[in-house]
Amino acid sequence: MAVESMVKRGNPNWMNPERINWVPTTSSFEERVAILNLAPEEYVNSRELKEWVRKHKDEKYVPTELLEAWGFVAESQ
């Protein structure tokens, strides 16, 4: 046999599933908190966060405890 015919062809990993690089996602609320550079104990006293929550409470994730602390009620979807 010639050496050329011994060369393996094709994808040697055809039976192995692709590795999926899972990257944890953050919610819009978490992004806003990071932008405002707030620690959890500062949430309730932040005017900027309260205003953002007031505008987005019906469409974005907001912790229930924070909604209750400010007396907001989010519409269920």
Q: Tell me the domain boundaries of the chain.
A: 25-77
Q: Contact 23/41 with Cβ under 8 angstroms?
A: no
Q: Is the whole-model pTM more than 0.75?
A: no
**Residue of 76, 73, 55, 75 lying closest to 64 (CA atoms):** 73
Phi, psi for residue 58 in degrees, rounded to 5: -90, -10
Query: How confident is the model at residue 18, as a pLDDT?
Result: 75
Residue 38, judged by CB atoms within 10 A of its CB (0-12, 13-18, 19+), counts as: middle
pLDDT band at 1 (very low <50, low <70, confident <90, very high): low
6-63 pLDDT, tens digit each? 677 777 777 777 776 766 688 999 999 999 999 999 999 999 999 999 999 999 999 9
8 vs 21: CA distance, rounded Å: 28
Query: How confident is the model at residue 72, as a pLDDT?
Result: 94
